[in-house]
Amino acid sequence: MPSIHDIYPDVYMSPTDLDRKEKIFVIERAALKKVFNVRTRKEEQKIVLYFEDEEAIMVLNKTQATALARYLKSDDYTTWAGCKVKLEPGQAHNKKATIVIKAAQRTQPAKKQQPAQPQNGSKPPTLHPA
């Protein structure tokens, strides 16, 4: 079905782009971009995220940038490329729709540690229930 969004695609990611569920994205790069603030009617410099396999870019507010820096353990946004993030629609303190940034799950489970083998070549003791 034809849509106005086909003719006028949204450049910036919004909570509705997430279809009411969390999604995992890989950051292609993070950069600074001048964005017009409709409230102050001025251009402001913001951190924006470009994602792999995603056309829309995400403009970070201070809360989102701080959460992402804490999750990635780096406030240097130039090092965020290649990192996975989980985004989900949420609600800000002012009750407006927002995108919540969460830690993405590990892609590989942690390795299980093997039980230590006895040093002298003997069998480990057999445990019996009490």
| Tens-place pLDDT, residues 90-116 | 999 899 999 999 887 543 333 444 545
For residue 49, give the nearest of 70, 67, 33, 63 by alpha carbon: 33
- Per-residue pLDDT for 127 more than 70? no
- Do 55 and 28 touch, CB atoms closer than 8 A? no
* Confidence at 86, pLDDT banded by 50, 70, 90: very high
Where does the chain show beta strands of DSSP type E? Answer: 23-37, 42-51, 58-59, 84-91, 97-103
Can you give the pLDDT at residue 7?
72
Label the pairing between strands 58-59 and 42-51: antiparallel
The count of C-alpha atoms lying within 13 angstroms of the C-alpha of 82, restricted to the half-sphere facing its C-beta, is 2
Whole-number percent of the chain with pLDDT over 70:
78
pTM: 0.72
Q: What is the pLDDT of residues 50-69, one digit of tens each?
A: 999 999 999 999 999 999 99
Using the predicted structure, report yes or no on whether residue 24 has a pLDDT greater than 90: yes
Following DSSP, what letter does each residue of 66-90 receive, concatenated? Answer: HHHHHHHT---GGG-TT-EEEEEEE
Sheet containing strand 23-37, strands side by side? 58-59, 42-51, 23-37, 84-91, 97-103
pLDDT of the residue at 107: 39
The β-bridge relationship of strands 23-37 and 42-51 is antiparallel
Largest separation between any pair of C-alpha atoms in the chain: 78
Residue type, 130: A
